[in-house]
Amino acid sequence: MPSHRRQRQRQVLTSASGLGKLVEPVRVLWEDGAAFPDDQSWKSKLNLVGIIGMGPLLFEPYFRPQIWGGRRLANVLGKLLPPNGRYGESWEVSAHPLHVSRLRGQSSSESTLASLWEKSKMSLWGESYPSPVEFPWLVKFLDCDDFLSVQVHPDSQLAAELVPTERGKDEVWVIVSADAGAKVYLGLRPDATPSRLRQAIQRGHPEDCLNVYSPQPGDIFHIPPGTVHSAGGGVLIAEIQTSSDATFRLYDWNRLDERGQPRPLHIEQAFRAIHWQREVRAPLRTEFQPRGPGWLSQLAASTANFHIECWQIAARTQIEPPHLGMTVAMVLSGSVILRVNSSPPLTLPKGETVLIPACVNSVLWSNPLDLPAWLVVCSPPVQPR
């Protein structure tokens, strides 16, 4: 059998009710039965659907250990985590210096997202929108088994002053799953003042000054720069953000790291970063609207940095949405088949993320299963016509 037809399997653990029991392996496959290449045969297909043809692009995920992480990236999403350890983040698409994504199965420097962006920016991004100098987004899954620190991200102006290697951080969370008792803290309560928040931190209860929500799958949280937030208690999140790692911690729940030391706090920087007068938007609950036969969508956020929607594709349905610019899509439930131009159909199970360049001529999504598929889709910010 030719090497490009060898199936690349990913073993997946069941959820907590069946922890440790293997279920059917999940495969990323071309619909013709060939695995998405993980060896040198990729070079031949690359000429057809990769850089030259600009077909769908899959990247190797980067698994980031975190003190607050768990094992849901493997147990729920089927990620191939190392056998031990707490992992809080799967970086799906990134050109951030902390980790630059690389095309799946490739090792050359030219296969990195940063290199692709440098050489083929207009093909990736499109000509209908002003193109950023650097790749603009960082796309992740988060497993908040324990709680994130109570934190805030700076806007671009303050980031340039305090962390000049970073930019402001605007982010959107879509809840994939949540345990009973999970919580999301988002924004200051109306009566929270700088002095009250400082006192609450000193008492070890900053949450007394924060809005608290019990997340449900499908909930959407927009977290603009300057918004105090945290999440934890067993919540799995799809996150799309601007390409920044600038974070100021206000409180870290009095826990110690693997060396027995508390993680650094950045209280004074955080107080400067907080937008004290901002009215925080409550989370959006699932309210899909019809977009076409078998296709429902909901706007998650539309800002100067991105336009993000949640899609639901009905069972046994295919849709052909307009394709006006670079698209990053994350599969949150179910499975979809993606057809781009003349490239072989690509099956994407739950937990997969794909980048579709702007230069393609046609994009067709289909759901081969008997249950709806759910995606979160990011595209360039909407510009006035």
Catalytic positions, written as ranges: 249
- Report the candidate in 365, 352, 349 with the shortest Cα–Cα distance to residue 23: 349
Distance (Å, whole) CA 263 – CA 187: 22
- DSSP assignment of 124-164: HH-SSSPPPSS--EEEEEEEESSPPPEEE---HHHHHHH-T
Phi/psi at 162 (nearest 5 deg)? -95, -35
CA–CA gap between residue 21 and residue 178 (Å, rounded): 21
Q: Are 136 and 305 in contact (CB under 8 A)?
A: yes
- 3-state DSSP call for residue 191? coil
Query: What's at 232, amino acid-wise?
Result: G
Strands (E), 47-149: 62-70, 87-93, 95-96, 99-100, 137-144
